[in-house]
């Protein structure tokens, strides 16, 4: 495993390529539009979003569907990407509230800002930064949401500590993310499968323990989708197919490997929605 800065740089490069590519050939971590198929947004959600926010969504769920965000509140979206959840949050909190996104990838921030302008929203802001060191004041947000991002962090304990720092007392975190058990070493070592949200995933137990260690309470998984073979092949095969087709300059990757890996991973990889709360009083 490379050092955390190198891992972040590689992940950012992959997402920069993904958001600037058309239908995508190389460097597309997850096929564009995968969210629309399996993530759980409604037609009503899609109807109010700019098409570019939907097409460039790379999440694994719909965290807001499980939240009770109210008008006037402040929502922080970690790894806000092209802005799909950020825009939905901004609509939920209304003009009296605020939606703040943080992302490290310039190209994603540019796309999010285009989408904010297209949606005509004035209560949204995207800040450049890393989720391990959030450019957000202490105890300043009501909600932390995130969609398929924390698995990509090489320093998850730092992310959990930052969530606990920025939430106001009594505030809630609701994230959609990938968790996994017993990832085979060859998958865990694959850089592209890291960017594809598989190789960096930790177990649900480790995830919950990390949140509790950061001081959050009432940690629970409120929804779970265990990926089947076809869904896993979609994640894995997106990279291998590109190489096998030769559009990344070859590389000799065996596409059958995608099927083998998917079969090995069945039952071990899930998309989860995890909720946690910051206590009203420290140590409560």
Q: Find the binder of ligand SAM among 79, 171, 210, 215 (CB under 6 A).
A: 79
User: What long-range pairs does 232-236 form, CB within 8 A, spacing at least 24?
Assistant: 232/261, 232/262, 232/265, 232/266, 232/269, 233/258, 233/259, 233/262, 234/30, 234/31, 234/34, 235/30, 235/193, 235/196, 235/197, 235/198, 236/193, 236/196, 236/198, 236/261, 236/262, 236/265
Residue 84 found at the interface with ligand SAM (CB under 6 A): yes
Residue among 17 and 275 whose Cβ is closer to ligand SAM:
17
Q: Which stretch binds ligand SAM (CB under 6 A): 80-88, 91-99, 224-232, 269-277?
A: 80-88
Residue 41, both tokens: 């947004």
Residue among 62 and 244 whose Cβ is closer to ligand SAM:
62
How many residues of this chain bind ligand SAM (CB under 6 A)?
26
Q: How far is the CB of 112 from ligand SAM (least distance, A)?
A: 9
Q: Which stretch binds ligand SAM (CB under 6 A): 55-63, 165-173, 185-193, 251-259?
A: 55-63
The beta-strand segments (E) located in the chain are: 74-78, 98-103, 124-128, 141-147, 167-180, 217-226, 269-277
Q: Which stretch binds ligand SAM (CB under 6 A): 74-82, 198-206, 225-233, 272-280?
A: 74-82
- Which string of x and - marks every residue 138-157 that binds ligand SAM (by CB under 6 A)? ---------xxx--xx----
Q: Which stretch binds ligand SAM (CB under 6 A): 4-12, 180-188, 211-219, 248-256?
A: 4-12
Q: List C-alpha distances in Å: 111 to 52, 53, 104.
A: 8, 8, 13
Residue ranges that bind ligand SAM, judged by CB under 6 A = 8, 11-12, 15, 57-59, 79-82, 84-85, 103-105, 108, 130-132, 147-149, 152-153, 197
């Amino acid at each position: 495993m490379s050092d955390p800065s190198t891992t972040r740089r590689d992940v950012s490069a992959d997402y920069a390529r993904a958001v600037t590519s058309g239908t995508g050939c190389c460097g597309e971590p997850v096929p564009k539009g995968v969210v629309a198929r399996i993530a759980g947004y409604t037609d009503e959600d899609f109807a109010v979003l700019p098409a570019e926010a939907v097409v460039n969504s790379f999440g694994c769920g719909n965290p807001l569907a499980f939240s009770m965000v109210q008008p006037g509140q402040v929502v922080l979206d970690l790894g806000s990407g092209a802005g799909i959840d950020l825009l939905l949050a901004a609509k939920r909190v209304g003009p009296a509230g605020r939606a703040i996104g943080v992302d490290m990838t310039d190209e994603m921030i540019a796309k999010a800002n285009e989408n904010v302008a297209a949606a005509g929203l004035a209560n949204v802001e995207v800040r450049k930064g890393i989720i391990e060191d959030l450019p957000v004041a202490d105890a300043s947000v009501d909600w932390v949401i995130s969609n398929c991002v924390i698995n990509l962090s090489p320093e998850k304990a730092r992310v959990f500590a930052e969530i606990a720092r920025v939430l106001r007392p009594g505030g809630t975190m609701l994230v959609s993310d990938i968790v996994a058990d017993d990832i085979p070493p060859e998958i865990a070592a694959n850089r592209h499968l890291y960017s594809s949200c598989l190789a960096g995933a930790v177990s649900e137990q480790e995830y919950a323990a990390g949140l509790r260690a950061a001081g959050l309470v009432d940690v629970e998984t409120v929804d779970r989708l265990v990926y089947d073979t076809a869904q896993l092949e979609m994640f894995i095969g997106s990279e291998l197919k590109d190489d096998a087709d030769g559009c990344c300059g070859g590389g000799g990757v065996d596409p059958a490997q995608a099927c083998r890996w998917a079969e090995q991973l069945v039952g071990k990889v899930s998309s989860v929605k995890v909720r946690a709360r910051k206590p009203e009083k420290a140590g409560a």
